[in-house]
């Protein structure tokens, strides 16, 4: 498998991608569409049990997580594999790329997935928290779950940069979809200043937010 992955790697892309990731990230330099295509192929071939080796490159961890999302598994089996995989996440790229692959898992039983995410939100581990937050912003910002999402985001208290940025990103997604409700949340939330201001920045940068709302958001920045 590693030989196959190495044949897919691009050195120029690796050098670019490394600049966006935490220092000393061990990666090959494989573009995500290629990796997703391989994961779907392996899932179709029922190669469900492949796991990243101990000395894994980032892409090997991604591949393992993506296969969990694309494989034809029962809800209980997919839960078991997600629980086994999440502790292996060690950077934002692995986290976010795998989360978006888990759409079929959420479709199987959205309420039960939410309950599992609530357990991850009780952790003090950076990437258990980020995994839960990114899953929420990907799949739970809707009429049914919005109040719960905002409440859970407000309860996340962690000093790690990648947790704070995930919460800010999630708040901006909530605002883009539900501006009135999220504005009320922002007026009374308990987010720390860094996370609050980063959420405002992401809202202003969003192409889905009306210009007049962006002016109001800019005026809310904390000093």
Confidence at 34, pLDDT banded by 50, 70, 90: very high
| Residue 48 pLDDT level (bands cut at 50, 70, 90) | confident
Specify whether the CB–CB gap between 89 and 55 falls below 8 A.
no
- Within 10 A of 87 (CB to CB), how many other CB atoms are there? 12
* Cβ-contact 85, 65 below 8 angstroms: yes
Verify that 99 and 114 share a domain, yes or no: no
Last residue in a domain, options 107, 138, 160: 107
Q: What pLDDT, in 10s, does the model give residues 95-148?
A: 999 999 999 999 999 999 999 999 999 999 999 999 999 999 999 999 999 999
Among 24, 26, 30, 23, which Cα is nearest to 8's? 30
Ordered alpha helix ranges (H), 71-192: 75-85, 92-99, 103-108, 110-120, 126-139, 146-155, 161-177, 179-188
The Cα 41–Cα 67 span in angstroms is: 9
How far does the chain reach from its first CA to its final CA, in angstroms?
51
The total of structural domains in the chain comes to: 2
pLDDT tens column, 54-102: 899 999 999 999 999 999 999 999 999 999 999 999 999 999 999 999 9
Boundary residue ending a domain (107, 133, 168): 107
Structural domain boundaries enclosing 157: 109-223
> Which sign, positive or negative, has the C-alpha torsion 111, 113, 114, 118?
positive
Note whether 42 and 136 are same-domain residues.
no
Contact between 146 and 179 under an 8 Å Cβ cutoff? The reply is no
> How would you class 123 by CB atoms within 10 Å of its CB: exposed for 0-12, middle for 13-18, buried for 19 or more?
middle
> What's the mean pLDDT when you consider all of the chain?
96
pLDDT, mean of residues 24-31:
95
Q: Does position 197 have pLDDT exceeding 90, yes or no? A: yes
Matching residue, tokens 């599992």: 116
Q: How far apart are CA 111 and CA 59, in angstroms?
A: 30
| Sequence-ordered list of residues with C-beta below 8 angstroms from that of 95, at least 6 positions apart, any chain | 89, 127, 130, 131, 134
Note whether 120 and 220 are same-domain residues: yes
pLDDT higher than threshold 90 for residue 24: no
Q: Which two tokens stand for residue 15?
A: 């050098």
Shared domain for 11 and 100, answered yes or no, is: yes
**Whether residues 99 and 188 fall in one domain:** no
Q: Do 63 and 173 lie in a common domain? A: no
What is d(CA 102, CA 68) in angstroms, rounded to the nearest whole number?
8
Q: Which two tokens stand for residue 36?
A: 């997703």
**Of 125, 151, 124, residue with least CA distance to 136:** 151
Q: What residues have CB less than 8 Å from 138, skipping those under 6 apart?
A: 99, 100, 103
């Amino acid at each position: 498998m590693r030989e196959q992955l190495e044949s897919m790697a691009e050195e120029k892309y690796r050098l670019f991608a490394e600049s966006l990731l935490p220092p000393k990230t061990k990666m090959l330099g494989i573009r995500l569409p290629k990796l997703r295509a391989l994961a779907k192929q392996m899932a179709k071939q029922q190669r469900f049990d492949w796991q990243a080796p101990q000395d894994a490159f980032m892409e090997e961890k991604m591949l393992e997580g993506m296969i969990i999302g694309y494989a034809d598994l029962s809800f209980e089996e997919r839960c078991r594999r997600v629980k086994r995989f999440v502790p292996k996440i060690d950077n934002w790229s692995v986290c976010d790329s795998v989360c978006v692959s888990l759409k079929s898992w959420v479709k199987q039983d959205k309420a039960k997935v939410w309950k599992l995410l609530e357990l991850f939100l009780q952790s003090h581990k950076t990437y258990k928290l980020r995994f839960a937050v990114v899953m929420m912003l990907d799949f739970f910002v809707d009429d049914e779950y919005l109040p719960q999402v905002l409440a859970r985001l407000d309860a996340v208290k962690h000093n790690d940069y990648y947790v704070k940025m995930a919460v800010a990103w999630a708040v901006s997604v909530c605002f883009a979809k539900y501006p009135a409700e999220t504005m009320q949340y922002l007026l009374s939330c308990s987010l720390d200043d860094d996370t609050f201001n980063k959420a405002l920045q992401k809202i202003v940068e969003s192409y889905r937010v009306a210009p007049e709302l962006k002016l109001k958001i800019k005026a809310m920045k904390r000093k």
